[in-house]
Amino acid sequence: MNTPDGYIKITYREALKQALRVSLQKDERVFLMGEDVGRYGGAFAVSKGLLGEFGPDRIMDVPLSESGFTGAGIGAALGGLRPIVELMTVNFSLLAMDQVVNNAATLLHMSGGQLNVPVVIRMSTGLGRQLAAQHSHSWEPIYAHIPGLIVLSAGTHEDARGMLPAALQSPDPVVIFESNSMLNLEAEIPANSGMVDITTAHVKREGKDISIITYGAGVYKAMDAAQILADAGMNPEVIDLRVLRPLDENAVMTSVRKTHRVLLVEEAWGSVNISAELSARIMEQAFYELDAPVQRLGGMEVPIPYPKHLEDACVPQTADIVTRIKKMLQHD
């Protein structure tokens, strides 16, 4: 297949790497620190080759102590640098939770506005690589709960390449979630695509019958589902939330006012997830626009199993979205 002019074909992993490279090139204060990011090239090979390019001062291997090195990153940010802290996966990030919640997210407040913390914390999230229960969680909602953080989810290749440079310009701590299952996924993106905004949700597909609102690994699944539904005569709108904190309510409510029906899709466990929050806000702000109850497709509330077929069954798939929407629109 030929790539159209001005577009390049790229994997999600490569997009993430280009984001790192561009950011490191652009600003000398930027450096990457994390477990195995240097000599090993990153647990998921995202930073492979960068050590040779930028040297050990800027591609820094750290000991296996999430709390310790995340704290060091926060300190570096306070000291004027622009650290990118890589926490291998969200599963291990719990070890650094105290640093993130009690320091990064609160210091601006505690210092009476004197100390902002311009740290960027990247971490992979989700299942899809058969890594079993302790390496496969989708815990975006935990971070989205915390005031003081900006929480991003890169659900597309453009965002994989464009969110990091934007996050590094933020004066406040930013957490970026990268989807594990998408690393090898190829997509075509504009060759010149660069920094993206990190304040709004994006309408990925215009439609009028129902709004599918999702993020992360749900975005491409929702787009595929929308195409299948379009072939069957339905016209869904797809929204990629992108920013999980603060939520872009305006984009959501605008879409609800247009379609009057909503299906919320995400891989995180159903209870107390982003969809739960959104559902409540839609009810509060757009109740009289609703033509059907807001519905959710979330992750099964189990520790993620190891076998591939059970892993697949744990989170909403394209077929699940199609089935649910047909039920909502046609009651079959």
Partner 1 sequence: MIEFCMPSLGADMEAGTLCEWLVSPGSVVKRGDIIAVVETQKGLIDIEVFEEGTIHKLLIKENEKVPVGTLMALIIPAKETTPKTEKRLAEKIQTIRPTPAIQTTAGGMIAAGIKSSFKASPLAKRMASEKNIDLSTVKGSGEGGAITREDVEKALMEKEAGIPVVKPSAVENIRLAVAAAMTRSNREIPHYYLETRVDMSRPLAFLREANKQRTVKQRLLPVVLLIKAVAKALKEVPDLNGYWEYGLKLKSEINIGFVVSLRTGGVMIPAIHEADKKTTDELMDSLNDMIPRARAMKLRSSELADSTVTITSLGDENVETVFGVIYPPQVAIVGFGSITEQPWAENEKLDSRPVLRMTLAADHRATDGNTGSRFLMTVKRNLQKPETL
Catalogue the active-site residues: 66, 135
Residue whose structure tokens are 């979630």: 177
What is the smallest separation between the CB atom of 260 and partner 1, expressed in angstroms?
Answer: 5
The tokens for 155 are 């659900």
Quote the CA–CA distance of 37 and 33 in Å, as a whole number. 7
Binding residues (CB under 8 A) for partner 1: these are 260, 287-292, 328, 331
What is the smallest separation between the CB atom of 303 and partner 1, expressed in angstroms?
Answer: 33
What is the smallest separation between the CB atom of 293 and partner 1, expressed in angstroms?
Answer: 8
Nearer to partner 1, 229 or 314 (CB): 229
SS3 percent helix, strand, coil of the chain, rounded to 5, is 40, 20, 35
Nearer to partner 1, 48 or 326 (CB): 326
Quote the CA–CA distance of 12 and 2 in Å, as a whole number. 19
Determine how many CB atoms are found less than 10 A away from the CB of residue 63. 8
Nearer to partner 1, 277 or 289 (CB): 289
159: helix, coil or strand? helix
Quote the CA–CA distance of 72 and 60 in Å, as a whole number. 12
Which of 90, 89, 141 lies closest to 267 in space, CA to CA? Answer: 141
Nearer to partner 1, 257 or 308 (CB): 257
What is the smallest separation between the CB atom of 291 and partner 1, expressed in angstroms?
Answer: 4
Nearer to partner 1, 39 or 331 (CB): 331
Nearer to partner 1, 212 or 328 (CB): 328
Which of 72, 68, 64, 71 lies closest to 88 in space, CA to CA? Answer: 64
The tokens for 217 are 């690994």
- The residues near 309 (Cβ < 8 Å, ≥ 6 apart) are none
Which of 116, 224, 125, 225 lies closest to 172 in space, CA to CA? Answer: 116
Chain center to CA of 38? 23
What is the smallest separation between the CB atom of 327 and partner 1, expressed in angstroms?
Answer: 8
What is the smallest separation between the CB atom of 330 and partner 1, expressed in angstroms?
Answer: 10
